[in-house]
Amino acid sequence: MKRSKWIWLVWAVVLLSYLVPYTLLSGVALWYGSFLFWAVAGLVVIALNVFITKDFEEHSND
């Protein structure tokens, strides 16, 4: 699979960032509720971007 296809995982994280806090976590008024969920979502997005853009390093520059 082409690396760029993994961008769909980022979009899945975005979708979950809308759905989960407004449903499953809407009653969890603790730090490990929506706060932790969105923080982890942010870290997952960083990791995915590191992975997706790995090939950029090999592109010839001329």
Which residues bind to another protein, rule: CB under 8 A? Answer: 4, 7, 10, 13-14, 17-18, 21-22, 25-31, 33-35, 38-39, 41-43, 45-46, 48-50, 52-53, 55-62
* Least distance from another protein to the Cβ atom of residue 1, Å: 15
The answer to whether residues 31 and 59 touch, using CB atoms and an 8 Å cutoff, is no
* Least distance from another protein to the Cβ atom of residue 9, Å: 10
* Least distance from another protein to the Cβ atom of residue 23, Å: 10
